[in-house]
Chains A and B, each alone.
Chain A
C-alpha cells in the first residue's frame, strides 16, 4: 500500500509539472500576436487616447493592420508588463513605465526591446537631436524617441476663487501666510493646501525639483558626487512642507492621498493650492470641466526662499516614451504607427491634450490651450536645463543602480512619517538616509568592480558642471575628474 501510494504521488507530481509547463506554453502561444494580425498597444496615457486613436486609424488605412489598444493605470502596467515579458507575450508597443536610473539600458540588456525599422537619419531633425545612446539609441540603432520635452512637478496651481492675483505666493513665507489665512477665514472648509503625501515617487521628485529651485544641484552634488539628502536646501523644503502641516493649513486627509485623489479634493475646493505638473490643467479640462470653463485656475513658479534670484530646475535629457517589444512580429507596422508621433499635427495634438509639453514646444503657441498651460510651458522653457547623467557618460553605471538596494524611508516617506505622527525628528532621518545611501552606493560600486564592470565614484563627478547652465552633450568629453 505504501509503495503504491508513493508511486501514485510521484506520478501525480509529474503530471502536475507537465500540466503547469503546458499551461504556460499554451498561455504564451495563445497570446503571441500573429504576424499581420494586429498591433497590440499598451500605455498609461488616458488623456491621449483620443489623439492616438486618430493616428492609429490613419495607420490602419495605410497598412491594413488595426491597432488594439489597452489603457492601464501606471502601477498596474508595471505588473502586467513584467508578467507578459516572462510569458513572451509583451504587446507590440508599450509605454515605458518603469522608473530608476538607467532602466532603459537594463531593459535593453535583458532583451525587452526590438529596434525600430528606421534609421536615425530618416527622422525629423528635432527628434534626431533628442536621441541619446543608452536611452533611446543602442549601438546606433533607434529604439525609441521622446515625444515630450523636459518638465517638472513643482509649479504651484491655485484656485482663483481663494487666491487673488495680488496674493499669488512666490516664496515659502508668503505661501505659509496665505495658507493660514485661507484656512482660518473659511473656518477649515477650505484649507490652504492639498498635498499628496502618500504619492511617494512623485513627492520624492517634487522635493528634488524644489531643491533645484533653491539653487541646489538636487539629490546629487555633481561637483563632488556626494548625496545631498542632508543639505541645507532639502532642509528648507522640508521646513516648508512640515511647516504648512504644523500650521494646520493642509487638508488632513492629505496624509493618505495619492495624486489623483489630491487633485480631486483640490478641484472640489477642499484646498486652495496644489503643487503639480503641467498636466494638471489637462486633467482639470477632462475631469472638472466646470472649473476649466470658468477660468478658475492659476499657476505660478515653484515656491522658493527668495524669488528675486533666478533658478533652474534640472532633469535628465528626455527618454523614450514608447518601445517595440522583443517578441513583436509586427515591427514594421508598429514602426509605421510610431512614426506618426513625430509630426507637427501630433505635437499640436499633444499640446491640446495639455499633458506634458510636446517635444516641439513651439506647437503650444499653435494649439488651442488654456492660458495657464501656455504659462507653465513658457516657465519650463525659461527655467529648465539638462542635468549631467552618469549613465549617458558611462552606460555601466546602470548596473550599479540595478545592484543598489532600495533604502527606506526615502525623503517622501520621511515626510509622510512626520505628518502621520510616526516621526518626530525628520532632520535626523534625512541624515540617516544620506549616510545609508552613500554606504549602499559604495557597496554596489565595489561589487560591480569585483565583477569586472568599469565603474567608480568618479562616474558621479562632473568637473565642468555649473548650476544655472544646461549640461549639453558636448560637455561630457573631458568631464571626468583626473
Chain B
C-alpha cells in the first residue's frame, strides 16, 4: 500500500507574531541593553564623527562651521595622512601574522605532552597582557636604548652588531620594532584562544590516526589544521581588531616619530585633534571617517570574495 506523501504546511509570516512558542519579543528584550549601550557608545560617536568631518572646527569654539567636502579635499592631498595610512597597514602586516603565528606555535608547544611546567610558562607569557601599555612603552625605550639597553648589549656580545643600533630611533627599524613589542605584549591573549581550540579537538581522532600509522606531521596536517580553521579565522579577526588599538603603546614608545615613521592613523588623528598649535577636530574626524571607510571597503571585498568562492 502506497503512503501518501506528508503534506508540509509552510506557516505564513503573520502567524509568527501570534505563535506563542516564538520568543522573538523576549530576544529583543534581552538584547535591548546591549543594543542601547552599543548605540550610545559606538553608533552615536561614529555618526557624530562623520558629522564633524564636514565642519571646520578648531575645538576652541562650541561648534564648527559647515564647509562641505573641504576637509576631504585637503585630506586626500595631505602626504602625512597617506603616510599614516601606509604606516598603519605596514604595522598590521608585521603585527597580525606575527602574533597569530607565534601564539599558535607557542600553543602547540604548551599543549604538547613533553612540555614541563606548562602553567608557569602560560602565566609568564600572559603577564605582559595585564600590564599597562603606557608603562610597557616607557620600559621598552630603556630596553632598546642604544647606549645601555640590554638588547644592544646582547646583540653586541653575540657579535651580531658592531655599533649600537637605536631600533626605536631609526626610521628604517622603528615601526618593525614597535610591532615586535606589540606582539610580545599581546601574544598571551591569542595563546589562550589557541589552547582552548586545541583542547577542543577530540583525542579519539589522534588515537585513531596513531592506530592507522600516522606520524606527528601526518596527524597535524590531517586532523589539527583542518579542525582549527574555523577557530583560526575568528582568532585572526580578533587579532586584527586588537592590532588597531595601538595608540597608548605607540604614543609612549615613539610618539609617532622619528619623523612620522611610526605615526599610525590613531596618532595622526590625535595630533590634529589635540596636540597641534591650532587643533582641528573637524579635520581629525575626516581622517577617522576615511580610514573607517577603507576598512569597511576591505571587509566588503573579503565578504564578496568569500561568497563567490563558496558559490563555486
Q: Are A416 and B60 in contact (CB under 8 A)?
A: no
Given contacts A82-B279, A253-B141, A256-B141, 6 further A-B contacts (CB under 8 A): A16-B36, A82-B281, A256-B258, A419-B258, A420-B257, A420-B258
Q: Are A19 and B277 in contact (CB under 8 A)?
A: no
Q: Are B169 and A256 in contact (CB under 8 A)?
A: yes
Q: Are A406 and B274 in contact (CB under 8 A)?
A: no
For A15, the closest partner residue in chain B by CB is B36
Interface size counted on chain B using CB atoms at 8 A:
43
For B277, the closest partner residue in chain A by CB is A100
Interface string of A169-208 (1 = CB under 8 A from B): 0000000000000000000100000000110010000000
Listed from nearest, the 5 A-B pairs whose CB atoms lie closest are A420-B258, A255-B169, A417-B259, A16-B39, A422-B171
Does A385 sit within 8 A of B, measured CB to CB? no
Residues in A with CB closer than 8 Å to B62 are: 85-86, 110-111
B interface vs A, CB < 8 Å? 13, 16-17, 28, 35-36, 39-40, 43-44, 58-62, 74, 80, 141, 145-147, 164, 166, 168-172, 174, 254-255, 257-261, 274-279, 281
Q: Are B277 and A413 in contact (CB under 8 A)?
A: no
Residues in B with CB closer than 8 Å to A20 are: 40, 44
In the assembly, what is the distance between CA of A23 and CA of B259, in Å? 40
Residue with the greatest number of chain A CB neighbours at <10 A, chosen from B58, B168, B278, B279: B278
**Prevailing SS type, chain B contact patch:** loop
A interface vs B, CB < 8 Å? 1, 8, 12-13, 15-17, 19-20, 23, 75, 78-79, 82, 85-86, 98-100, 103, 106-107, 110-112, 188, 197-198, 201, 251-253, 255-256, 258, 261, 270, 401-402, 404-406, 408-409, 413, 416-417, 419-423
B278 to chain A minimum Cβ distance, whole angstroms, is: 5
For B255, the closest partner residue in chain A by CB is A198
Q: Are A188 and B40 in contact (CB under 8 A)?
A: no
Q: Are A420 and B170 in contact (CB under 8 A)?
A: yes
Q: Are B258 and A417 in contact (CB under 8 A)?
A: yes
Q: Are B28 and A17 in contact (CB under 8 A)?
A: no
Q: Are B259 and A402 in contact (CB under 8 A)?
A: no
B9 to chain A minimum Cβ distance, whole angstroms, is: 19
Q: Are A255 and B258 in contact (CB under 8 A)?
A: yes
Partner of A422, one of B16, B141, B259, B274: B259
Q: Are A256 and B278 in contact (CB under 8 A)?
A: no
In the assembly, what is the distance between CA of A13 and CA of B39, in Å? 7
Q: Are B60 and A85 in contact (CB under 8 A)?
A: yes
In the assembly, what is the distance between CA of A17 and CA of B16, in Å? 31
Q: Are A110 and B276 in contact (CB under 8 A)?
A: no
Q: Are B275 and A75 in contact (CB under 8 A)?
A: yes
Residues in A with CB closer than 8 Å to B170 are: 255, 420-421
Residues in B with CB closer than 8 Å to A417 are: 171, 258-259
In the assembly, what is the distance between CA of A251 and CA of B260, in Å? 21
A272 to chain B minimum Cβ distance, whole angstroms, is: 14
For A408, the closest partner residue in chain B by CB is B80
In the assembly, what is the distance between CA of A1 and CA of B55, in Å? 39
Q: Are A416 and B278 in contact (CB under 8 A)?
A: no
Q: Are B275 and A23 in contact (CB under 8 A)?
A: no
Q: Are A1 and B258 in contact (CB under 8 A)?
A: no
Residues in B with CB closer than 8 Å to A110 are: 60-62
Residue with the greatest number of chain B CB neighbours at <10 A, chosen from A253, A406, A422: A253
Q: Are B13 and A416 in contact (CB under 8 A)?
A: no
Q: A1-B13, A100-B278 are in contact. Are A82 and B59 (CB under 8 A)?
A: yes
Residues in B with CB closer than 8 Å to A106 are: 58, 60
A127 to chain B minimum Cβ distance, whole angstroms, is: 27
Residues in B with CB closer than 8 Å to A188 are: 147
Residues in B with CB closer than 8 Å to A112 are: 60
Q: A16-B43, A253-B147, A420-B169 are in contact. Are A79 and B274 (CB under 8 A)?
A: yes
17 A-B residue pairs with CB within 8 Å: A1-B16, A12-B39, A13-B39, A16-B39, A19-B36, A20-B40, A23-B40, A85-B59, A85-B62, A98-B277, A103-B277, A111-B62, A198-B258, A251-B147, A252-B147, A256-B169, A409-B260
Residues in B with CB closer than 8 Å to A99 are: 277
Residues in A with CB closer than 8 Å to B35 are: 12
Q: A16-B44, A270-B147 are in contact. Are A402 and B58 (CB under 8 A)?
A: yes
